[in-house]
């Protein structure tokens, strides 16, 4: 697999010359300064591509070319936005970039409740707590019907009893305004702005804005969202075929419906559905082992075997699910995802497949550097070192079995 790294552009504190030194071959990035929905021009793409190439690497994958909310909920201007999307694809292809990661998650991209959850060894990790998430939903957003929904909540894929309402009420006893503020920052601000999300760090009233965004999805069921995804993919496929573009949707993170919003890339059945709905090799998957392993219903290794041939990009990380269903990001050599086996599967399928380590611990001073949540330098570099070792061993194993 090609060793790539997510880099956030020329303002990223982690520079391309640093990445060159740690064995990165390809860059995963986006035109982060272009507002969602606008066309990515050839000039801007070329400028960034040439900059990356001047450091001896290539621009391997776009992550992300964002799909606007209106395309997801089926708004009146969706056709115009899809035309812009096609134009951006054409421009990217002329500049030699052919792998495009995007997502189809309504409103919220990825979600965690704690971005600095302390580990016993002094490092910290990302963490998802159902009760804190429910607290945010019921008491901060105040979503209609939220309390009733959480009252009949079942942890996806786990056969356990969990009284979330009792937990939320206990949490309420000790919640301070500062803790509430932190929860808002963690769930809808700090994880979103830098991934071209809807809410940015300087938005003054993030919760109000968030409520408005949620209201756009009134009446959008799972089936409707699926139809909107099919519509989007069918519309862009002719351009993808003509230009050799590999589209790869990112699974929903976490892989279950949140805040009353449907989510449609959460499981084996979901993936099967969208691959068949638009059965074209240009319509593929970003195999994010981390997002998928956060759902107890997913057997990540089996899924990799099943979908490897339609996978165009791989995110390597792994989650650990606690007995109550909460999850955290495990070591890249531990957790539920079995990265060793995944590397074996993908390296065998296509040795040129781009892969990047995803997220990383915050460690050894990362915490004071102001990196984007989940995107530390030393923690990711440590993970990258582990994955490079696994890759070398797997390559050797494959060579021996051939010879
Ligand atoms: C989070 C990322 C996601 C991903 C998008 C792709 O760390 O994996 O934000 O980039 O969902 O569109």
Q: Which of 109, 188, 190 to mutate to test the pocket of ligand 1 (most atoms within 8 A of CB)?
A: 109
Instruction: Note the pLDDT of residue 207.
Output: 96
The tokens describing 104, both together, are: 């189809």
State the average pLDDT for the chain.
97
Q: Ligand 1 centroid vs 399 CA: distance in angstroms?
A: 33
Q: How confident is the model at residue 394 (pLDDT cuts 50, 70, 90)?
A: very high
Secondary structure element (H or E) that encloses residue 132, with its range: helix 130-135
Instruction: Note the pLDDT of residue 14.
Output: 97
Residue pointed to by tokens 């552009």: 9
Whole-Å CA distances, 370 to 109, 190, 307 = 20, 11, 36
**Statement: residue 296 has pLDDT above 90:** yes
Q: How far apart are CA 133 and CA 58, in angstroms?
A: 39
Q: Which atom of ligand 1 is nearest to the CA of 105?
A: 11
Torsion of CA 330, 331, 334, 338, to 10 degrees: 90
Q: How confident is the model at residue 200 (pLDDT cuts 50, 70, 90)?
A: confident
Answer whether 298's CB lies under 8 Å from 233's CB: no
Angle, helices 300-307/268-277, rounded to nearest 10 degrees = 20
Alpha-helical (H) ranges within 198-267 are 206-215, 222-243
Alpha carbon 373 to its chain's center? 12
Instruction: Note the pLDDT of residue 102.
Output: 98
Answer whether 150's CB lies under 8 Å from 134's CB: yes
Pocket of ligand 1 (CB under 6 A): 63-64, 101-103, 109-110, 195, 250, 358, 374
- Beta-sheet strand order (sheet of 327-329): 114-118, 124-128, 327-329, 319-321
Q: Ligand 1 centroid vs 109 CA: distance in angstroms?
A: 7
**Statement: residue 344 has pLDDT above 80:** yes
Q: How far apart are CA 222 and CA 269, in angstroms?
A: 13
% pLDDT > 70, the chain: 100
| DSSP character at residue 75 | -
Answer whether 262's CB lies under 8 Å from 106's CB: yes
Which residues have CB under 8 Å from 253's CB, separation 6+? 105, 109, 110, 111, 288, 290, 291, 294
CATH topology (fold) of 2-109+221-402: TIM Barrel (3.20.20)
Q: Ligand 1 centroid vs 401 CA: distance in angstroms?
A: 36
| Residues carrying an active site annotation | 250, 288, 315, 358-359, 375
Q: How far apart are CA 226 and CA 281, in angstroms?
A: 19
Q: Which of 8, 101, 103, 316 to mutate to test the pocket of ligand 1 (most atoms within 8 A of CB)?
A: 103
Q: How confident is the model at residue 204 (pLDDT cuts 50, 70, 90)?
A: confident
Instruction: Note the pLDDT of residue 205.
Output: 93
> Averaged over 148-156, what is the pLDDT?
96
pLDDT tens readout for residues 55-101:
999 999 999 999 999 999 999 999 999 999 999 999 999 999 999 99
Q: Ligand 1 centroid vs 103 CA: distance in angstroms?
A: 7
* Among protein residues, the one whose CA lies closest to atom 3 of ligand 1: 110
Secondary structure element (H or E) that encloses residue 283, with its range: strand 283-288
Q: How far apart are CA 400 and CA 398, in angstroms?
A: 5
pTM for this entry: 0.97
Angle, helices 378-402/339-349, rounded to nearest 10 degrees = 60
> Averaged over 105-119, what is the pLDDT?
97
% pLDDT > 90, the chain: 96
Q: Ligand 1 centroid vs 292 CA: distance in angstroms?
A: 13
Q: How far apart are CA 335 and CA 371, in angstroms?
A: 24
Break the chain into its structural domains and give their ranges.
Answer: 2-109+221-402, 114-215
Q: Which atom of ligand 1 is nearest to the CA of 6?
A: 10
Answer whether 384's CB lies under 8 Å from 361's CB: no
pLDDT tens readout for residues 240-280:
999 999 999 999 999 999 999 999 999 999 999 999 999 99
Whole-Å CA distances, 19 to 50, 57, 267, 370 = 16, 9, 33, 18
Instruction: Note the pLDDT of residue 35.
Output: 95
Residue pointed to by tokens 């070398």: 392
Q: Which atom of ligand 1 is nearest to the CA of 103?
A: 12
End-to-end CA distance of the chain: 20
């Amino acid at each position: 697999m090609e060793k790539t790294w997510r880099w956030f552009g020329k303002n990223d504190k982690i520079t391309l010359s640093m990445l060159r030194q740690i064995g990165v071959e390809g860059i995963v990035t986006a035109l982060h300064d272009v507002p969602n929905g606008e066309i990515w021009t050839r000039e801007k793409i070329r400028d960034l591509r040439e900059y990356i190439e001047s450091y001896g690497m290539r621009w391997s994958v776009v992550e992300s070319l964002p799909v606007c909310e209106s395309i997801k909920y089926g708004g009146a201007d969706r056709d115009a936005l899809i035309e812009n999307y096609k134009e951006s694809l054409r421009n990217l292809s002329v500049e030699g970039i052919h792998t495009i990661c995007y997502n189809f998650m309504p409103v919220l991209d990825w979600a965690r409740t704690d971005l600095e959850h302390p580990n016993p060894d002094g490092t910290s990790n990302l963490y998802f707590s159902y009760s804190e998430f429910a607290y945010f939903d019921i008491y901060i957003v105040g979503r209609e019907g939220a309390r009733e929904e959480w009252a009949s909540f079942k942890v996806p894929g786990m056969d356990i009893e969990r009284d979330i309402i009792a937990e939320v009420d206990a949490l309420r006893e000790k919640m301070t305004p500062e803790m509430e503020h932190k929860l808002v920052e963690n769930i809808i601000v700090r994880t979103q702005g830098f991934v071209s999300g809807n809410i940015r760090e300087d938005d003054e009233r993030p919760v109000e804005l968030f409520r408005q965004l949620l209201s756009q999805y009134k009446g959008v069921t799972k089936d409707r969202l699926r139809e909107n995804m099919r519509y989007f993919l069918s519309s862009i496929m002719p351009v993808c075929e003509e230009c050799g573009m590999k589209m790869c949707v990112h699974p929903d993170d976490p892989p279950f419906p949140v805040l009353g919003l449907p989510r449609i890339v959460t499981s084996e059945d979901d993936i099967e559905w969208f691959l068949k709905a638009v059965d074209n090799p240009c319509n593929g998957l970003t195999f994010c082992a981390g997002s998928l392993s956060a759902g107890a219903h997913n057997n990540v290794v089996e899924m990799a075997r099943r979908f490897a041939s339609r996978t165009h990009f791989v995110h390597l990380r792994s989650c650990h699910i606690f007995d109550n269903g909460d999850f955290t990001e495990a070591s890249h050599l531990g957790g539920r995802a079995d990265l060793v086996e995944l590397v074996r599967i993908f390296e065998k399928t296509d040795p040129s497949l781009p892969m990047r380590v995803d997220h990383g611990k915050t460690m050894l001073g990362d915490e004071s550097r102001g990196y984007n949540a989940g995107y530390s330098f030393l923690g990711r570099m440590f993970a990258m070192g582990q994955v490079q070792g696994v890759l070398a061993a797997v390559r050797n194993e494959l060579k021996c079995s051939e010879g």
